[in-house]
């Protein structure tokens, strides 16, 4: 039995089956929010500067 007989719609190509809970632009991951990597690099640079001054 083919798709035409069961009236099952053909899925669109290159589309996910579901939306991610932490997709860009959602409440958990809004646009314009700094990445954790940038924050980590800033903390590491500050720690390195503090170590040099001592």
Read off the pLDDT of residues 9-51 as tens digits, 9 standing for 90 and up: 777 788 778 888 888 888 888 888 777 888 899 999 999 999 8
The per-residue pLDDT for 16 is 76
Which of 21, 19, 1, 2 is closest to 10 using CA atoms?
A: 2
Q: Which helix (H) or strand (E) holds 38?
A: helix 36-53
pLDDT of residue 4: 64
Q: Let me know: does 42 contact 34? Beta carbons within 8 Å.
A: no
Residue 1's pLDDT band (cuts 50, 70, 90) = low
């Amino acid at each position: 039995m083919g798709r035409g007989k069961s009236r099952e719609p053909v899925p669109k190509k290159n589309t996910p089956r579901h939306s991610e809970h932490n997709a860009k632009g959602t409440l958990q991951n809004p646009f314009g929010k700094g990445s954790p990597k940038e924050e980590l690099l800033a903390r590491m640079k500050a720690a390195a500067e503090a170590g040099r001054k001592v």
